[in-house]
Structure 1
Amino acid sequence: MANDDNTVSTLGLGRDLMLAGSRLRDAVGRRAQREFGLTALQGELLLLLAARGSMISTELAAACGVNASTVTHAVDAGIDRGLMLRERNEGDRRLVDIVLTPAGKRMAERVRALVADLARTALEGVDQPGLLAESLAQVTRNLEEAKVPKDIP
């Protein structure tokens, strides 16, 4: 019986994690759209590129959990707005890096502030936000290391 209780609580926690992530992403998307004219994905791409400097489309897709064509459309929109550029990769001329323009770097800072504001709201009433952050980072690492097939029907 204890094992069944543990399974039920683990499933509930999994659902809560998915729901919290979905709600935060939706909130970021709504505010980013309203305030900056960006989708949640575009905001996420800006934050990733601000942190890493440059990435290729497949890296961006993997980091965001979307397919490459979805990233291509979001990058195209970012290029149209003057926030991103495509540059030939210097280490491997067959690859194309996505980088931020100066305007993209400024917008990434605005998105970062928006996410921080929403995170503060989301964390109201949480006793140990640092512990939660460490735990969620571990959850992310565990999922990244898991050999979960990407084509599960």
Structure 2
Amino acid sequence: MKMDETDIKIVEALIDDARMSLKDLAAHVGLSSPGVSERIRRLQERGVIRGFTVDIDPKVLGYSLQAIVRIRPLPGKLHIVQQLIQEIPEFCECDKVTGEDCFVARLAIPSIDQLDGILDRISDKAETSTSIVKSQPIRRRPPPLAVAEKAS
């Protein structure tokens, strides 16, 4: 997906502050507000920008622990396990992966006591391996935008 320098500046600015006003964004990239609005619309249509979101700190909401859970469904249980993961709200992220495990998921939990209760809900349908997250040196971030421009 080809993005010019202005598109990259717009996306980078929105990554920093998705609530930036069109006026401020236009001044930042050197375009008019209608011009920026049109570019954002095209970036959305092309799927570069999929949406605007809120970044919530789980700790502030009482989820003091996070865990990474590798999940290997038992034979014939893949779809059941996937559905369970989707239904358990403490699973805040999940990737379906290749290799020995089928899923790698992130849990947000208020305490270690809740971890066993959540994992018990899938333990008769999958094997799990759990690691407690100590820190997150790199939070979720987009890939480099300049590379995306060159790759197109």
Give TM class, smaller chain: 0.3 to 0.5
- Compare the two structures and name the one with the higher helix fraction: 1
The structure with the largest strand share of the pair is: 2
TM-score (norm 2): 0.33
Larger Rg: 2
Higher relative contact order (CA 8 A, sep 6+): 2
